[in-house]
Amino acid sequence: MAILVTGGAGYIGSHTCVELLQAGEDIVLLDNFSNAKPQVVNRIKELSGRDFPLYAVDILHREGLEKIFAREDIEAVIHFAGLKAVGESVKIPLDYYQNNVSGTINLCQVMARAGCKKIVFSSSATVYGNSTDVPFREDSPLSTTNPYGSTKRMVEDILRDLCASDPEWSACLLRYFNPIGAHKSGLLGEDPNGIPNNLLPYIAKVAVGQLERLNVFGNDYDTPDGTGVRDYLHVVDLAIGHLKALDYVRTHKGAEAINLGTGRGYSVLEVVKAFEKASGVTIPYRIAPRRPGDIATCYADPSKAKKLLGWEAARSLEEMCADAWNFTRRQQSGESQ
């Protein structure tokens, strides 16, 4: 039996595919390549030394999904496929609701018909909204402040209701904090199209001279140095968390929301300093106005993941920055994806 990884050519999906294959799992990779490069598939094969079926299918395309479940023996689904840019979601909300919510409903209907009732879902800490109740626990109040976050919260509710309607279903709703870094090889990493929205890929492009300087969005927050504090976790730690969640849905029924974070927050300026130390490159920056929608502080209480999944983040901020820098340098030289 195989694990279907939707969005498997994406940043977190590709790192998860490598860990799954190296752990001996069989996978089927689905991606519509709207925000991923086809050569990532070759990198996954190169790094794992294993082959797997690939389907260039959109989760909105029911016939395409039905073909996969007819041809492949799918035991469970790790569901990454979806649109994920907060700012973009404000501009094109219908695309976000259609892709992220209708697409997931489509996927679950095809899964149910095929008798496949185990899912690990890519949710997000963004469901905690602008709560100040840090560290965030899974039972902290939820509130979303943008369409992207609302799609994640809606899908969580849909999967809870699905599990309540049919005791054969099991769902792990993984709430990611801030994934950064890259595979140790430098062959896989975060490679957003255009100018990055997120901090680390933006810093990386400044470090290689593609962008002039970092704009630090506000230094007047109620934090130790005034800049935003986030819970950054290494993408490989996050990928390994999915393997633990897969084992959990294999042995448990029902729906569980679980934070995947380190439990430690770092400010923007601390990240800049860590990246400068890892790369040996000075990162020029200026203090810019706050970004609308940003909160001051966000970090996880990761105790439930340790208790239920036996998972905790292992890699340091220094390692995250060193691996991100290694990927960026290899990308510059044309060696990676």
CA-based nearest residue to 147, from 87, 218, 232, 82: 87
In the complex, least distance from residue 290 CB atom to ligand WQD, rounded to whole angstroms: 7
Interacting span for ligand WQD (CB under 6 A) from 12-20, 53-61, 89-97, 214-222 = 214-222
Interface with ligand WQD in residues 187-206 (CB under 6 A): 197-199, 202
Contact track, ligand WQD, 251-270, x by CB under 6 A = -----------------x--
- Beta-carbon contacts of 65 under 8 Å, excluding residues fewer than 6 positions away, are 57, 59, 106, 107, 110
Q: Is 6 in the site for ligand WQD (CB under 6 A)?
A: no
Residue from 48, 145, 215, 332 that binds ligand WQD (CB under 6 A)?
215
> Could you give the 3-state DSSP secondary structure of residue 320?
helix
Q: How many CB atoms lie within 10 A of CB 270?
A: 16
Catalytic position from the list 148, 176, 266, 299: 148
User: How is residue 123 written in tokens?
Assistant: 């949710």
d(CA 52, CA 124): 28
> Could you give the 3-state DSSP secondary structure of residue 260?
strand
> Between residues 117 and 242, which has the closer beta carbon with respect to ligand WQD?
242
Q: Is 176 a catalytic residue?
A: no
Residue from 82, 228, 261, 263 that binds ligand WQD (CB under 6 A)?
228
CB–CB of 5/13 below 8 Å? Answer: yes
In the complex, least distance from residue 291 CB atom to ligand WQD, rounded to whole angstroms: 5
Interacting span for ligand WQD (CB under 6 A) from 24-32, 212-220, 236-244, 321-329 = 212-220
Q: Is 153 in the site for ligand WQD (CB under 6 A)?
A: no
CA-based nearest residue to 182, from 239, 137, 131, 143: 239
> Between residues 26 and 270, which has the closer beta carbon with respect to ligand WQD?
270
Which position has the token pair 């490679």?
191
Residue from 54, 92, 217, 330 that binds ligand WQD (CB under 6 A)?
217
Instruction: Report the phi/psi class of residue 280: left, alpha or beta, with left for phi > 0 and alpha for psi in -120 to 50.
Output: left
Residue from 79, 183, 205, 230 that binds ligand WQD (CB under 6 A)?
230
Residue from 43, 84, 234, 244 that binds ligand WQD (CB under 6 A)?
84
In angstroms, what CA-CA distances link 71 with 60, 78, 99, 224, 250?
18, 18, 24, 55, 22
> Between residues 112 and 158, which has the closer beta carbon with respect to ligand WQD?
158
Residue type, position 2, single letter: A
> Could you give the 3-state DSSP secondary structure of residue 62?
helix
Bond prior to 135 in cis (omega within 30° of 0)? yes
* Active site residue ranges: 148
Kindly list the residues in this chain that would bind ligand WQD in the complex (CB under 6 A).
Answer: 84, 86, 124, 126, 176, 178, 197-199, 202, 214-217, 228, 230, 268, 291, 294
